Structure 1
């Protein structure tokens, strides 16, 4: 084991962290309002609660490889263009969020949902000559959205895709979606009840009723190129991977903005709580609380809870959640002494005309939050709840407007550890930079030993340049929360050239970690001279975004 000489983070989880042995990845499972542990109690060694001694952390790298510590291996499960089912559907481009759904409780066979965030001029639809052609638009929309694939681990311990699966299918920018919730059918969405497709799918989450939530993030360019109504995008999407007859839907009550992911839990009173980040500079942190209570016996019917409730935004100066209601917005805009925040760059008269109904709040959520005093932050991306104490963590990736070049991770404490509370406190859990060894934290997850995992998102235009030189390519880091290396970041993986690692998700027994390798070779301008060729498959002439299965964890 190499000596760890990186400086410790600014702070860490604290003395109660050993209790994280009950935590599974991300949300974990909730039963009657309590966190239930289903994950292994030994990821790197039996009941160790530490990482040190169970893998030798790797150094930063600029190589065109996915590098893991000694003893760990990966298999490419699916890559862009791979056929996923008997119908001939193909795996989309720029895979991001992944979530594993066991089939009959298996850790060796299940369904994997994978987000596809955006297309590529160079590698997918070809260069534009003026506007995109109809064929180019259709191809771009098809490569986005999501893939449902069936995966299994064979007798050799290798993960493969089962293309004969009855479940495997695509959900794309061409798939019809139902709008549900406060804005459905209203003037705010131009009276639409059904809309075309989902795209710009970044991260997401799993519901308590075993469906998935996929989040539409930077939708503006694609909707404009395709001539689609922008009010129909920027929502949280729900899909049942096991049931193609379940009508895929967009939940307007959760607000419209540049969604990164969702983290779902329960309040002490049994209401569903959904935390959400907005991945842009000077954006806010949100949570939705359902009007009704969660009933495990209702199963998927609990989806109705996401159609009625209250959407809040965080006022970090006061440590309070601000309800985003039309009454509150109209009251402020009618006050002659109220001045519209300069951040919005809009006139009061225009905002008065914009906000007429609660549906307008849902469609213009960011503006409403800023009007009501919510705090603009530094690209709040992934949010994850710690089941052991109901704190939640936010990855603030960066914001050069504020001089926050390397980003940080914030830990929030809801009052009385109640996710339904209206007051909170917070602390800086970790700061990116030379002292921590990473920059631009993005997706987060926890393992059952209480270690925090984070992947990074240094932009490909900044990678290995200037103040980002020391970090090498993007990577994955593990942060021990107890033991001799508490609070130190250990690098577990290094991404290929131009790529970022996204969507980490463990099988329930934590024997396998699924991980997406997104946009290798993104800086390529000439398809004949790609900057990366990962995953270096025989016969390939271009790099391919892909999902991998990492194995080698101790048992």
Structure 2
């Protein structure tokens, strides 16, 4: 075991970040303010229950074609690409990412699992385009194998997690799904070519859970698929709401939350009861956003609270000023009217013709946000609200254009501990690199001890080469906030070859961690010579992205 690489201490050089988180989890209250259950990270069903405890013996970096876990832990492959998920014969999509578990009747051993499907593979799914264009049959495969899956999962008497293919809930939501509603300012507008309903969702990266028990799935790198399928690109790049328990409930794309390369959502409440949604735009030199609803959350209203996501204000972070900047047509018009103003692209007159309504603003969120003073950052991916206070954490995965090769995790503190505040401060909580033992933090989650779990996203073309060689394959790392390993990065998992680990999500009792294994064997050039064959199932002739259930947590 390479102790120098798998146990790294942050406290000596990161200021008060990890120390403050540790104090909060111990109940010492040194973080600014305290959260309530509504403003805790959405997936923290076990808030302050101290369910995950007894630290594992960390593993070291690996280059093996295996999903490696610490001693005493095991994983079950719950669903893999191509598996049949229901009696209708629907199949599990490709390149699974975000997962979210919804208990059935409060159970920790049977529930619905939503899984995103982000993109496909010409080698393993569609085949190569003919003369640069996909055939209709290929386009159908391209669109069907993206989107998301609702599957019913359960733990059997032997403690093995399985998929129930007889489930009445199991279904696919794909790039072929008809009648998805647009809500908010862009619905029916010229900016989306008059559309009120659109076809499908794809490029689904991460997401979040709402306070009313639905899910939000986020469309990230949608441009290529829209182009290949000949679809209107303005209909994609949105946050999409799905009710996993009701296949008759409308699927909605909430345009008030902006159109950009969405990674995920993190939902909480302002002090006055409005819904706040934090979001990252996963590309180089892109902003950190939040949406604040106009109306207030009403627990008694249940799923009718979805209307709150249709009307509110979208903001972008100006990190130099420590202020949230409204991304609105009114703000943009005020800027455009200033004497001598020049946009970064085009002319002032062209902008005045292009931007006449809020619909135009939300369809072109990034361009407007940067013009209004939003701070370009280093690929802001997953955002989570701390379960112990109203600070929120952002994974800035990396930006080689700025020399930020290994990325970092930033902690933001809202003024007066109010998620609805217009001012904030921030600090670097953890930095990727040799000193920490990980590179390219992507998704994060908290357990109820306040320990921060992060998965990494080194590109498959970079792993085990040059400055990335020391890290081995992508992995899962835990930064405990209390106990003898406080402030150290402990490696919990190592991915198979070429793969990325994504979508970590605990069951309410925190006895099970769901995790997606995405694009194993992605560097394969010849199907007869795959670089990975994970999950090494009998009869498989190709590597398969899959979702696993990890168990072995001690109580």
Q: By the TM > 0.5 criterion, same fold?
A: yes
Tell me the equivalent position of 1:526: 526
Contact 2:21 2:481 in 1 (8 A): no
> In the superposition, relative to structure 1, how do residues 436 and 31 fare at CA in structure 2: closer, same or farther (>3 Å)?
closer
Tell me the equivalent position of 2:113: 112
- Which of residues 131, 144, 147 is equivalent to 1:145? 147
Residues 387-426 of structure 1: pairs in structure 2 closer than 5 A: 387-426=387-426
Tell me the equivalent position of 1:41: 49
Contact 2:453 2:477 in 1 (8 A): yes
Contact 1:18 1:450 in 2 (8 A): no
Tell me the equivalent position of 2:312: 309
Tell me the equivalent position of 1:19: 24
* Distance (whole Å) between structure 1 residues aligned to residue 120 and residue 3 of structure 2: 42
Within the alignment, does 1:318 sit opposite 2:296 as a pair? no
* Distance (whole Å) between structure 2 residues aligned to residue 39 and residue 425 of structure 1: 25
- Give, in angstroms, the shift of residue 198 of structure 1: 0.1
Tell me the equivalent position of 2:79: 78
Per-residue displacement from partner, 1:22-58 (whole Å, max 9, x unpaired)? 9xxxxx996576888634734453xxxxx6xx31100
Within the alignment, does 1:272 sit opposite 2:275 as a pair? yes
- Give, in angstroms, the shift of residue 87 of structure 1: 0.0
* Distance (whole Å) between structure 1 residues aligned to residue 39 and residue 280 of structure 2: 23
Within the alignment, does 1:178 sit opposite 2:186 as a pair? no
Residues 73-222 of structure 1: pairs in structure 2 closer than 5 A: 73-130=74-131, 131-176=133-178, 177-222=180-225
- Give, in angstroms, the shift of residue 346 of structure 1: 3.6
Contact 2:390 2:417 in 1 (8 A): yes
- Give, in angstroms, the shift of residue 525 of structure 1: 1.4
> In the superposition, relative to structure 1, how do residues 214 and 56 fare at CA in structure 2: closer, same or farther (>3 Å)?
same
- Give, in angstroms, the shift of residue 317 of structure 1: 0.3
- Give, in angstroms, the shift of residue 441 of structure 1: 0.2
> In the superposition, relative to structure 1, how do residues 40 and 149 fare at CA in structure 2: closer, same or farther (>3 Å)?
farther
* Distance (whole Å) between structure 2 residues aligned to residue 18 and residue 145 of structure 1: 40
* Distance (whole Å) between structure 2 residues aligned to residue 277 and residue 233 of structure 1: 16
Contact 2:207 2:217 in 1 (8 A): yes
Tell me the equivalent position of 1:358: 358
Q: SS in structure 1 opposite 2:504?
A: strand
* Distance (whole Å) between structure 2 residues aligned to residue 189 and residue 393 of structure 1: 33
> In the superposition, relative to structure 1, how do residues 431 and 192 fare at CA in structure 2: closer, same or farther (>3 Å)?
same
Contact 2:382 2:443 in 1 (8 A): yes
- Give, in angstroms, the shift of residue 325 of structure 1: 1.1
* Structure 1: gaps (5+ residues): 23-27, 46-50
Contact 1:30 1:208 in 2 (8 A): no
- Give, in angstroms, the shift of residue 16 of structure 1: 5.3
Q: SS in structure 2 opposite 1:38?
A: coil
Contact 1:213 1:237 in 2 (8 A): yes
Tell me the equivalent position of 2:430: 430
* Distance (whole Å) between structure 1 residues aligned to residue 337 and residue 26 of structure 2: 52
- Which of residues 229, 234, 245 is equivalent to 1:231? 234
* Distance (whole Å) between structure 2 residues aligned to residue 224 and residue 425 of structure 1: 40
CA RMSD of aligned residues (A): 1.8
Tell me the equivalent position of 2:31: none
> In the superposition, relative to structure 1, how do residues 16 and 519 fare at CA in structure 2: closer, same or farther (>3 Å)?
closer
Within the alignment, does 1:253 sit opposite 2:261 as a pair? no
* Distance (whole Å) between structure 2 residues aligned to residue 481 and residue 166 of structure 1: 41
> In the superposition, relative to structure 1, how do residues 357 and 107 fare at CA in structure 2: closer, same or farther (>3 Å)?
same
> In the superposition, relative to structure 1, how do residues 135 and 29 fare at CA in structure 2: closer, same or farther (>3 Å)?
farther
* Structure 2: gaps (5+ residues): 28-33
Tell me the equivalent position of 1:291: 294
* Distance (whole Å) between structure 2 residues aligned to residue 81 and residue 37 of structure 1: 31
- Give, in angstroms, the shift of residue 332 of structure 1: 1.2
Contact 2:26 2:482 in 1 (8 A): no
Per-residue displacement from partner, 1:48-79 (whole Å, max 9, x unpaired)? xxx6xx31100000000000000000000000
Contact 2:25 2:481 in 1 (8 A): no
TM-score normalised by structure 2 residue count: 0.94
Tell me the equivalent position of 2:30: none
Contact 1:236 1:254 in 2 (8 A): yes
> In the superposition, relative to structure 1, how do residues 552 and 509 fare at CA in structure 2: closer, same or farther (>3 Å)?
same
- Give, in angstroms, the shift of residue 2 of structure 1: 9.0
Q: SS in structure 2 opposite 1:470?
A: helix
Tell me the equivalent position of 1:48: none
Contact 2:40 2:388 in 1 (8 A): no
Contact 2:46 2:510 in 1 (8 A): no
* Distance (whole Å) between structure 2 residues aligned to residue 437 and residue 488 of structure 1: 10
* Distance (whole Å) between structure 1 residues aligned to residue 201 and residue 36 of structure 2: 29
Tell me the equivalent position of 1:476: 476
* Distance (whole Å) between structure 1 residues aligned to residue 108 and residue 433 of structure 2: 37
Contact 2:387 2:446 in 1 (8 A): no
Tell me the equivalent position of 2:58: 57
Per-residue displacement from partner, 1:198-232 (whole Å, max 9, x unpaired)? 00000000000000000000000000000000000
Q: SS in structure 2 opposite 1:56?
A: coil
- Which of residues 306, 331, 336 is equivalent to 1:333? 336
